[in-house]
Chain A
Amino acid sequence: MTVTLDILPKPVVAMKDLTFTVTVSGKNLSAKPFIDLGMPGMNMGPNRVELRRVKDNVFQGQGVIVRCPSGRRTWRATVTLPQTGKVEFVFDVIY
Chain B
Amino acid sequence: MSSTEPLYLTFLITGLTVGFGHCIGMCGPIVVSLSLNSKGSNLLFHHLLYHTGRIITYGILGGLAGTLGSLTILASSILSLQKGVLIFAGALILLMGLAMGGWIPSGRFFGGGDSSGGVLSKWFQRLSGAKSPVLFLPLGLLLGLLPCGPVYTALIASARAGMNAQTTLEAWVSGMGLMLAFGIGTVAPLVLVGKLAGLGWIKSRSLIYKTSSVLMVLVGIYFITQGICY
Residues of chain A touching chain B, judged by Cβ–Cβ distance below 8 Å, are: 15-17, 39, 42-47, 63-64, 66-71
Contact = CB atoms under 8 A, between A and B. Distances in A.
Q: Give chain B's interface secondary structure class.
A: helix
Interface stretch (B56-64, B98-106, B117-125, B150-158): B150-158
A44 B150 contact: yes
B154 A45 contact: yes
B26 A15 contact: no
Contact of B149 (A16, A46, A63, A69): A69
A59 B10 CA distance: 26
A63 B152 CA distance: 12
Contacts of B150: 43-45
Interface residues of B, number: 29
A67 B147 contact: yes
Contact of A66 (B153, B182, B226): B153
Contact of B153 (A16, A17, A45, A69): A45
B21 A42 contact: yes
B203 interface: no
B219 to A, nearest CB: 12
Nearest to B17: A43
Given A15-B76, A69-B86, 14 more contacts: A42-B21, A42-B22, A42-B149, A43-B150, A45-B11, A45-B14, A46-B10, A47-B153, A47-B156, A64-B156, A67-B147, A69-B230, A70-B226, A71-B229
B218 interface: no
A17 B149 contact: no
B55 to A, nearest CB: 16
18 contacts: A15-B152, A43-B17, A43-B21, A44-B22, A44-B153, A45-B182, A46-B10, A47-B153, A63-B156, A64-B71, A64-B152, A66-B71, A66-B156, A67-B152, A69-B147, A69-B226, A71-B226, A71-B229
Contacts, number: 64
A70 to B, nearest CB: 7
Which residue among B22, B76, B149, B157 has the maximum number of chain A CB atoms within 10 Å of its CB?
B149
A10 to B, nearest CB: 17
Contacts of A17: 70, 72
B18 interface: yes
B148 interface: yes
Nearest to B72: A17
Nearest to A49: B156
A64 B160 CA distance: 11
B154 A15 contact: no
B75 interface: yes
B26 to A, nearest CB: 7
Nearest to B82: A69
B71 A67 contact: no
